[in-house]
Amino acid sequence: MEPVERLTHIITIMEDVIKNERLETYFLGMWVRSLESELRNADPRSRRFERIRKSLASSQEVMLFCWRQIDHFINMRNYVIVQAVLRNHPLPVLDHAPIRMTELAYAVTIAPESETSREEFVKKKRITGEEMFLPPPEIAIGIDIGTGPRCVAVWNDSKVELFSNTENENIMKSAEIIKDDGSSIGVISASEVTLSQNQEHDMLYEATIYNMRRLIGRIDVDPIVQENKKFPFLLHTLYIGGCPFIAAPKNIALKFTAAEQVLVVYLGQLRVLAETQLERPVSKVVLMVPVSFSRIQLARTQYVCAKAGLYDLKLMPQPTAVALLYAQQQMLASFSCEDMDSESNKVALIFNMDFGYCDVAVTVATAEGECRMKALAGSSSGGEDLLVNMIRYLLPDSENIFKKHIDGDEENKSMSLLRVAILEAIQRLSSQTSVEFDLDLGDGLKICKVVKREEFEDVNKEVFEKCERLIIQSLQDADIKVDDINDVIIVGGCWNIPKVKDLVTKICKGKELYKGMNPLEAALCGAAVAGAVAAGIVDPKLGLMTSHVTPFSVGIQANGIHFVPVIPRNTSMPTTRVMDFTTIHDNQTEALILVYEGEGQKAEENHLLGYLKIMGIPAAPRGVPEINVRMNIDCENGLRVGAAVYMPGSDQPAIPAMEARMPMSMTDDGYAEALNRTYGDTKDLVTLVKME
């Protein structure tokens, strides 16, 4: 068989496989949706409810596997196409193969244009006939999708390399613009969506969707979702415990989407950007996430990455990535300084605040490259809260003025104009003491006011106080005194706000800020380093080790409506903790263990992760059965919860022990309310107090 026929035959087979896999995934998706519908209508007390729940969980795993298979064959097919182009083989299958535009652009971009360059490229890469059909070596990239900017980097030639787009920009905007023809773009250059009022075209006259990381994994009754309805695009909430829908007005129609779908566009295009510059498929990634992300939000993030073709995933809190970069710098400094004590440790306080979140971490870095996380704390307070507070300050009746922005473009443009102006003002207040607003929002609405830096700080007093509490909480959890801190690191999009610097340095008794890293790129560089370490790249600069902690307490509902932590926050991972409970009623034969994550004293104030229903407890007076709840968090932050029932005088479980992985679902869609409504307190537990 001729080479061109062989290539065509291989690609045709791959196309058939991809088509069949997509068809099977489509029908599997319909099956999953039907199971979800049945589960909502089923009685939680029935065996049918348990069977449907288990079937749904297994179906979701199979669906994730199908997505992986599809992406694997797409990557293999594209690799064959690229090699064919490099070898100057005409491929008639390209004329009708259903290749996505981004994939075709990837194949064309990395292929040299001239015969000479093509030969040189093949010679340089030493591509032989046997190697032609082998998959290229894997490489792990680091991605930071901020609430505003996002970027991608990789460890290359013993240093971190930031990828640039076609306009030679390393940092791009996290926004999706809906075009007239219904298509959308997700990787937007800084010049396309700017904070300048002179170049605000896309923000004002296109259907632009942004701030999606702040909404991912949240339900429509979440206070954060309700607070973030002040966007130029429409946020639909039905108050039923489901995911909010996003509608971007375009002409006379609306395009509906979800936060997860927008992030799929972002990640997919960043993956193509990395593949284009690395000249190989990419599926391994270290993705930055906020500390305050719940396990449900992390599960949704994993789902988004899978749909974008990124499977070998490591989710890393942003301050942890900064801590890893700091540990690498301390290790390299010890190499260059022979007089430095190899046993010396350095303590760093890391403060990260961007547009959507605020994170704090305390870490200990050793000269041997060990990064020991001592404490993590985070909240959903960020630059968006600063912006919203300023809107309310400048325009007290803004909610009533803009609540009908779906009815026309004028309100949409006015809201966008006001947001852009305030964002620019916040930036300018970092370098000057006052800014002047002179805005004509249309319909006779004008804002003419001079805002001083002190006013801005007073308007956002509560936000800055939350930041202070996070720092104090982290130091207390880490059991570290301020005098023991060696370096204070401020990173993130809000690093240059004077009040942010003041509150951090004030708590740290005036310590000078660390200047050894770029505040806007520190987390991304740490992600690239983590990706290189995880990929097993051999490099003296990568002799690093990181010990992680869990940012939230994990426990169950007991003692009435209270939340009883089994694993306290900032516990080192991996870890296993056991706590004993007992029945609250005489002859209680069943128990319902509701697993939560959070710091609220009441169970309902935390995130429901799942539940275990214990049946067949031997009838006995209350307080006699011993219900042993075991929780395990592995080194990848995976949580498993088990339960066993013991009777006095016996070392063997009275009934078979059970165990489940949490979270059980990727959304908190009202299970807790339904279970409490069905069972009440008939299956409650209380903490078992053992006498010495």
Query: Among 28, 55, 86, which residue terminates a domain?
Result: 86
Q: Are residues 57 and 23 in the same domain?
A: yes
In a domain, 317, yes or no: yes
DSSP string, 138-180: P-EEEEEE-SSEEEEEEEETTEEEE---TTS-S-EEEEEEE-T
Per-residue model confidence as pLDDT tens digits over 487-509 = 999 999 889 999 999 999 999 99
The CATH number of residue 678's host domain is 2.60.34.10
SS3 579: strand
Q: Are residues 25 and 60 in the same domain?
A: yes
In a domain, 251, yes or no: no
Q: Cβ neighbours of residue 298 under 8 Å, at least 6 residues apart?
A: 217, 289, 315, 637
CA 156 – CA 528 distance, rounded (Å): 9
Average pLDDT over residues 107-135: 40
SS3 230: coil
List C-alpha distances in Å: 309 to 17, 135, 267: 17, 16, 8
CA 681 – CA 419 distance, rounded (Å): 48
Q: Are residues 490 and 562 in the same domain?
A: no
Please name the helix (run of DSSP H) or strand (run of DSSP E) that holds residue 597, with its range, or none.
strand 590-598
- Print the domain residue range for 18: 3-86
In a domain, 100, yes or no: no
In a domain, 162, yes or no: no
Q: Are residues 468 and 342 in the same domain?
A: yes
In a domain, 682, yes or no: yes
Q: Which residue has the tokens 């207390």?
A: 476
Q: Is 688 exposed, middle or buried (0-12, 13-18, 19+ CB in 10 A)?
A: middle
Q: Are residues 493 and 641 in the same domain?
A: no
Point out the least confidently predicted range of 6-20, 461-475, 551-565. 6-20
Residue pair 358/382 in contact by the 8 Å Cβ criterion? yes
CA 504 – CA 287 distance, rounded (Å): 26
Q: Are residues 528 and 562 in the same domain?
A: no
Structure tokens at 681: 């307190």
In a domain, 603, yes or no: yes
Q: Are residues 619 and 495 in the same domain?
A: no
Per-residue model confidence as pLDDT tens digits over 405-435 = 444 556 667 777 788 888 889 989 989 999 9
Please name the helix (run of DSSP H) or strand (run of DSSP E) that holds residue 31, with its range, or none.
helix 3-41
Task: Categorise residue 211: left if φ over 0, alpha if ψ from -120 to 50, beta otherwise.
Answer: left
CA 212 – CA 173 distance, rounded (Å): 12
Q: Are residues 530 and 512 in the same domain?
A: yes
Q: Are residues 525 and 542 in the same domain?
A: yes
Q: Are residues 32 and 74 in the same domain?
A: yes
* 511 vs 251: which has the higher pLDDT: 511
Average pLDDT over residues 452-469: 94
Query: Among 28, 56, 86, which residue terminates a domain?
Result: 86
In a domain, 488, yes or no: yes
Structure tokens at 454: 């002190």
In a domain, 388, yes or no: no
CA 203 – CA 421 distance, rounded (Å): 11
SS3 544: coil
CA 549 – CA 353 distance, rounded (Å): 20
Per-residue model confidence as pLDDT tens digits over 344-380 = 789 999 999 988 899 999 999 998 889 999 999 999 8
User: Within a 13 Å sphere around the CA of 5, how many CA atoms are in the beta-carbon half?
Assistant: 2
The CATH number of residue 518's host domain is 3.30.420.40
- The pTM for the full model equals 0.76
Q: Are residues 372 and 513 in the same domain?
A: yes
CA 220 – CA 242 distance, rounded (Å): 6
B/e letters for 384-421, b = 16+ CB within 10 Å, e = fewer, are bbbbbbbbebbbeebeebbeebeeeeebbbbbbbbbbb
* Percent of residues, the chain, with pLDDT higher than 70: 67
Total domain count, the chain: 3
Query: Among 67, 86, 105, which residue terminates a domain?
Result: 86
Per-residue model confidence as pLDDT tens digits over 44-88 = 777 777 777 777 777 766 766 676 666 666 666 665 665 565 555
Residue pair 21/102 in contact by the 8 Å Cβ criterion? no
Per-residue model confidence as pLDDT tens digits over 597-648 = 999 999 888 988 988 888 899 999 999 999 999 999 998 899 999 999 999 8
Q: Are residues 491 and 622 in the same domain?
A: no
Point out the least confidently predicted range of 22-26, 111-115, 307-311. 111-115
